[in-house]
Structure 1
C-alpha cells in the first residue's frame, strides 16, 4: 500500500478509527511527522490534538533497542531486562541526555500549546509510520502512566513484529503491515521533512480553538 502524502494517510487512518467510537479523543502526534497526521485525525474524529514528548532510553552500542523510556514529566520507566544490559551510571547518563531533548522540545512547543490532560480520556497515539517501534513503545509507556481510559496506536504502515509488540500494550490500528517492510518513507509518494516551524503552526491553530 502506498500513500500520496501524510494528509492522505491521515484521512485513511481516521476512517479506520471511526468504528471504534472514541469519545472526544485526544490525538497525540509524535514529533515531527506524526503531528501532521494527528492534526487531520483530530479534526475528522471531533477530538483535540496535542503532541507526546517521550524518548526511548537506548541500549549501549545499539540506541534503537529500547531499555525503557522517559516521559515529559521526568518519570523513568525501565524494562525488566534494562539492568542486565546496562549499568546504573549508563542508564542515568542516557536518561539525562533524553530528558535534555524533551526539555528543548517542551520549550519550543509547550509555550504554544499547553499539555492536554490524558487521565480518563480516550487517547490516539499517531505517527507517520513505525520502523523498529522503539520510539512508539516509549510514547506508549509514557502515555499509559497518565492513566487514559483507552489508548489506541494508529499508524499507516509498520512491520508485523512491531505491530505484535505494541498490541500487547494497546489497541493498534495499522493500514499496512508488509512482511518485507523497508522504511517508512518508501510507502509514501511524497514524504518531505517536517520542520519545527510546521509543528508550531499546527499547535498554534489548536491553541486558539
Structure 2
C-alpha cells in the first residue's frame, strides 16, 4: 500500500500530527540523508530549527553488522555492554573501529553543515525524524546520542514503521508514527517517489532552514508567503519567496502534473533564493484538475496559466518592477517556452491573452521544449536547456528543439544524469547552471552583468 507521494508529502502529514509541539523549545533533527526532507517540512510547520543528527555505528570487527556501540558529534559514545561482553572485543579493537568511524563521522558533518555549528540540545526537546524505520537500530542510536548531547526529552517521529518496532521502542520518550503496518517489507514501498536524497539536497535544506530561523529572530520582513492567483476562472495555489534585495523572480512550471511541492523544484528554488533571486512555485492545475491527464498534457492551457501568474506578479507592489524568468521541468518546459514566445510576440496563450510582461530568461531541466512546437521560433528570451547525459531520448528532442530557437541559447549536458536527475550531485549541478543563467539575465537594467542578447554567446556547452 502506497501512502505518501514523496518525502515532502510525508513531512507535511507528519507535521500535522506534531502541531502540539508548536511553541515549545523543539529542535528538529533529521537523520541523513532521506530523513532530512521529511524533517525540513516538520521544522517549517513548527517554526523550529532544523539540524541533522549524525551518528555512526561501531560494528564488531569480525561481524560489522552487529553494533557494539555508536558515536556522535562532540566525542559522544554509546556502548552496548552486553554485546561487548559477549563478543569479548578488546579495548584496542574498540579503539581501532572507533577511529575509522570517527573519521567517517567528521567527514559527513563537514559535508552537511559546511561550517555551521550544531544546534545546542541542552535542556530542549529533540524531535528526531526519519523517512521511515525497519529495525529502528539507527534511530535508537540517534535517540541515545541526542540524550547524551543534553536533550531533556527525546521524541521519534516517522511516517511509517512496523508495529513490533514502533510499539516497543527504547530510547525515546514518545514515538509518533503515521502508518504502522503489521509487517513492513520496505519503507520505499509506501512512497510513490522514494528516489535517493543527495548530500547537496541535505545542505540546501539545512541552509534554507537556518535562513528561515534568521529571518524569524531578526524580523527582516522578507516576503515568504502562500498566494492564490486567479486564472481561467480558478485559483492557483503558489508559494512566493523574495529574498531581501531580489532583482528578479523565477516562475516554476512543473511537469507531468507535479505541484509546487515538487522536491526537485523546491531544491532548485532554494539554490536560487540563496543567490538572491525570488521564486514563485505554483500549481498550474487545481487539485480537481490534476487527475485529468488531458489537462496535464495541455501545453496551451499550462502556458496560459503561467501567463496569468506572470501578469499577477506585475500587479504586486513587491514584484512588479522585477525581471521575470521561467524555469520549466518536463512538460512544464514546453509551457514555459510557449508562454515566453507569446509574451515576446504579444499574442495569446489559449484564451488570447499575453503575459503583458517581458520574459527575460528561460531554463529547462530535463524538459520537453519540443512540446512548444512552432512557437519555439518566437522565443526571444535567452534559453538554457539542461539535460541529463543518460537521458538519451530527451537529449535528442532538446537538440532538435534548440535548432528551432532564434534566441540566444545553450544546451548544457549533465554527465551521467537520467531524466529525474536522481544521481548523486547531478541535481545540484543542474541547479547551479540555472542559478548562473538567471543571475546573468535577470540582472537589473544598467548593471555590469547586463548585456544585450546580441552581445552574448549562443553556442552549446556540448
Verify same fold: TM over 0.5. yes
Structure 2 unaligned blocks of 5 or more: 215-462
Q: Distance between the aligned counterparts of 1:125 and 1:131, measured in 2?
A: 15
* Residues 129-148 of structure 1 mapped to structure 2, 5 A cutoff: 129-148=132-151
Q: Distance between the aligned counterparts of 1:117 and 1:171, measured in 2?
A: 20
Residue number in structure 2 paired with 1:35: 36
In 1, are the aligned partners of 2:34 and 2:130 still within 8 Å (CA)? Answer: yes
Based on CA coordinates, which of the two structures has the bigger radius of gyration?
Answer: 2
Q: Secondary structure at the residue paired with 1:117?
A: coil
Q: Which has the higher contact order (CA 8 A, sep 6+)?
A: 1
With normalisation by structure 2, the TM-score equals: 0.43
Between 83-92 and 65-74, the greater mean CA deviation after superposition = 83-92
Cα distance, 1:104 vs structure 2: 0.3
* Residues 141-160 of structure 1 mapped to structure 2, 5 A cutoff: 141-160=144-163
Cα distance, 1:112 vs structure 2: 4.8
Q: Secondary structure at the residue paired with 2:143?
A: helix
Structure 1 unaligned blocks of 5 or more: none
Change (3 A) 1:101 1:205: same
Q: CA RMSD in A?
A: 1.9
Cα distance, 1:32 vs structure 2: 0.5
Q: Secondary structure at the residue paired with 2:81?
A: coil
Change (3 A) 1:22 1:78: farther
Residue number in structure 2 paired with 1:82: 83
* Residues 1-209 of structure 1 mapped to structure 2, 5 A cutoff: 2-20=3-21, 23-60=24-61, 62-83=63-84, 84-88=86-90, 89-167=92-170, 169-208=172-211, 209=214
Cα distance, 1:126 vs structure 2: 0.4
Cα distance, 1:199 vs structure 2: 0.7
Q: Secondary structure at the residue paired with 1:166?
A: coil
Q: Secondary structure at the residue paired with 1:115?
A: coil
Q: Distance between the aligned counterparts of 1:166 and 1:28, measured in 2?
A: 18
In 2, are the aligned partners of 1:112 and 1:203 still within 8 Å (CA)? Answer: no
Q: Distance between the aligned counterparts of 1:186 and 1:22, measured in 2?
A: 34
Between 9-18 and 65-74, the greater mean CA deviation after superposition = 65-74
Q: Secondary structure at the residue paired with 2:18?
A: helix
Q: Distance between the aligned counterparts of 2:10 and 2:41, measured in 1?
A: 10
In 2, are the aligned partners of 1:24 and 1:48 still within 8 Å (CA)? Answer: no
Q: Deviations over 1:122-145 (max 9, x none)?
A: 220001011221111111111011
In 1, are the aligned partners of 2:140 and 2:170 still within 8 Å (CA)? Answer: no
Cα distance, 1:148 vs structure 2: 1.3
Change (3 A) 1:96 1:165: farther
